Amino acid sequence: MTTLIEARDVEFSFGSTPALRGASLAVDAGEIVAVMGPSGSGKSTLLHCLAGILVPDAGEIRFDGHRIDTLSEPQRSALRRDRFGFVFQFGQLVPELTAAENVALPLLLGGVRRAEALRTANGWLDRLGLVGLEQRRSGELSGGQAQRVALARGLVAGPRVLFADEPTGALDSLTGEQVMDLLVTAAREQGTTVVLVTHEPRVAAYADREVIVRDGRINAPDRVAS
């Protein structure tokens, strides 16, 4: 297996509050990893460092063998746009845009023409069971529907890595499991690597592997020796 994303001895503080205190983790290409741990242990901060949103105070982050923590903000922003997809707890759809336009957004930002971007977006909405809702705005969707739109937007550009931070956190358990089913199926079909932050064991059970963050460190061995 090839390591696709790696954190080595990563430290990060918000002012005087340490959030990561020497976190190390390696995720293989195509792997689905659930990051678990108590509230405030550093899960979201770790995800943000792995995704090049936050820059660690110390340690290294590698994507595909290359350091990303040393890149400039425009370079990291381009990397996020071109290689990574994101799904957050509250879909964070743009309320003024339709479902199809929301899904098309990453393609439009990547320079794809509008008609083609919307065609691809509609294909994803279809795949995630949202036919007929293409023209709805986020205020006209249920929580589960909005989260499926957010998932479509996270996957539409064919990212190498999907970063999902509590993607089912705002959903009831049945709707959450439907979203996880769709997420895992789509990721496996595309070979997309997934880093999933969750505090719900039922959600983590969809992953290939669980790691536990405690006090800013990865507590469990991040890999079972084979």
Ligand X SMILES: Nc1ncnc2c1ncn2[C@@H]1O[C@H](COP(=O)(O)OP(=O)(O)OP(=O)(O)O)[C@@H](O)[C@H]1O
**Cross-strand bridge partners of residue 197:** 35, 165
**CA neighbor of 159 nearest in space, from 56, 210, 86, 54:** 86
* Smallest gap from residue 153 Cβ to ligand X (A): 22
Site for ligand X, residues 186 to 225, rule: CB under 6 A: 199
Q: Which is nearer to ligand X, 2 or 17 (CB)?
A: 17
Q: Does 72 bind ligand X (CB under 6 A)?
A: no
Q: Does 14 bind ligand X (CB under 6 A)?
A: yes
Stretch that binds ligand X, among 11-19, 124-132, 149-157, 182-190 (CB under 6 A): 11-19
Q: What angle do CA 51, 20, 46 make, to 5 degrees?
A: 20
Stretch that binds ligand X, among 1-9, 37-45, 50-58, 109-117 (CB under 6 A): 37-45
Q: Which residues contact 199 (CB under 8 A, 6 or more apart)?
A: 36, 37, 38, 39, 43, 166
Give residue for tokens 């001895």. 9
Q: Which is nearer to ligand X, 17 or 72 (CB)?
A: 17
Spatial strand order of the sheet with 58-63 comes to 17-28, 3-14, 58-63, 66-67
State in Å, rounded, how far the first CA of the chain is from the last one.
12
Q: Does 16 bind ligand X (CB under 6 A)?
A: no
By CB under 6 A, name the one of 6, 23, 43, 152 that touches ligand X.
Answer: 43
Stretch that binds ligand X, among 34-42, 58-66, 180-188, 202-210 (CB under 6 A): 34-42
Q: Does 42 bind ligand X (CB under 6 A)?
A: yes
d(CA 183, CA 167): 10
Q: Does 40 bind ligand X (CB under 6 A)?
A: yes
Q: Does 39 bind ligand X (CB under 6 A)?
A: yes
Q: How many of the chain's residues bind ligand X (CB under 6 A)?
A: 12
**CA neighbor of 219 nearest in space, from 5, 4, 21:** 21
d(CA 73, CA 112): 23
* Smallest gap from residue 19 Cβ to ligand X (A): 3
Q: Does 56 bind ligand X (CB under 6 A)?
A: no
Binding site for ligand X (CB under 6 A): 14, 17, 19, 37, 39-45, 199
